[in-house]
Amino acid sequence: MSEFISKIRTIQWVDNCSRMVDQTVVPYEFKYVDITTGQQMFDAIKTMIVRGAPAIGIAGAHGVVLYAMELEKENLSRDEFIKKLLEKADYMATSRPTAVNLMWAVEKQKDIIKNSKSDIPGIIEELKQNGIKLENEDIEINKKIGDYGAEVVPKGASILTHCNAGALATVGYGTALGVVRSAFAKDKTIQVFADETRPRQQGARITTLELTMDGIPTTLITDGMCSYFMKKGMIDMVVVGADRIAANGDTANKIGTYTVAIAAKYHNIPFYIAAPLSTIDTSIKTGDEIVIEERSREEVTHINGKIICAPEVNVINPGFDVTPHELITGIITEKGILRPDYKTSIKEAFEK
């Protein structure tokens, strides 16, 4: 890994606050912001200062600590503190609806709040330590995903990815880009095609920055171009991340992923999801139950503050789509690569 990427921790608990890379300004600027209150964290998640399913999970966990530190100043009884903190945690989990890692990490913090035998300062310390543990585990998990995934990358492969499932979507290393990183460590002849990912350009702004900083050959294409390059035989496999995976393997990821999966199926190109088990929501049977975030019309009507369409035009802006499980070749997790039938392989992965 390059000096730059290996040093990145996208989000980290330091000096009693949550320090994160401000992803709204990448790649024009690379700066860290310190989030010091629960409400600031809610807004940072909603406005996508921090983004990517695993990263917003950690952000949610930190957000609960920040709320706990604020409530400590209110001189509440221990019972009142716990009641109010659980309410704040539930609120934090509503900052974005699709990525289940957010709810997963907040639930982990809620378990501590409910089960701790400590006094208020003790509970806060336990929450902080748990946040730091989740951070460290995220990087370890991503490296395992990367190594399992690298085994299915053909020699000299051209890998297409959509959105950003990289170091900046996690605490570090990345999921889909973790696979790319691990594969590149073994084989310097691989290359990546990065979809720009309208409307927020995570592919163009973030994925190309991450990969070129790591010295991995990368070609930026617009979203509509993927089938053109597949037909020309220029794509050997697709690897993308995930925001929520249902018990049957149906997978929500950034809007446009479904189109890529259909094109890959048509051209007989393997289509992989790379995600930690914390992205799998076994409480839902199929992708139909996944709530899809609706985002603002301005994300579509404007680029860099400039309008690009007729001002009165109708706009619909879903942030994610769901790729049906039958289009997915495998789900690369920290427990290995899950294969169809996913109902069985997902169940077995949780039992491992």
**Which residues are catalytically annotated?**
243
- Sites for ligand MRU among residues 84-113 (CB under 6 A): 99
Could you give the CA distance from residue 200 to residue 307 in angstroms, rounded to a whole number? 14
Identify which range of 2-10, 29-37, 163-171, 333-341 contacts ligand MRU by CB under 6 A. 163-171
- 53 near ligand MRU, rule: CB under 6 A: yes
Indicate the SS3 state at residue 232.
Answer: coil
We find the least distance from the C-beta atom of residue 52 to ligand MRU, in angstroms, to be 4
Judged by CB under 6 A, does residue 163 bind ligand MRU? Answer: yes
Task: With CA atoms as reference, report the closest residue to 33 among 294, 147, 129, 25.
Answer: 25
* 9 lines the binding site for ligand MRU (CB under 6 A): no
Question: Among the candidate windows 9-17, 74-82, 240-248, 297-305, which touches ligand MRU by CB under 6 A?
Answer: 240-248
From the CB of 239, what's the least distance to ligand MRU, in Å? 10
**Bridge partners for 14 per DSSP:** 17
Read off the tokens for 352.
Answer: 């491992």
Count, residues near ligand MRU per rule CB under 6 A: 18
Site pattern 200..239 for ligand MRU (x: CB under 6 A)? --x-------------------------------------
**Alpha-carbon gap, residue 111 to 114, rounded angstroms:** 5
Q: Is 174 helix (H, G, I), strand (E, B) or coil?
A: coil
Cα separation, 348 vs 352, whole angstroms = 6
Helix (H) or strand (E) holding 336: strand 336-338
Q: Is 169 in the site for ligand MRU (CB under 6 A)?
A: yes
What b/e string do you get for 183-211 counting C-beta neighbours within 10 Å, with b at 16 or more? bbeeeeebbbbbbbbbbbbbbbbbbbbbb
Contact range with ligand MRU by CB under 6 A, out of 45-53, 103-111, 229-237, 260-268: 45-53
Residue ranges that bind ligand MRU, judged by CB under 6 A: 51-54, 99, 163, 165, 169-170, 175, 202, 240-243, 253-254, 319
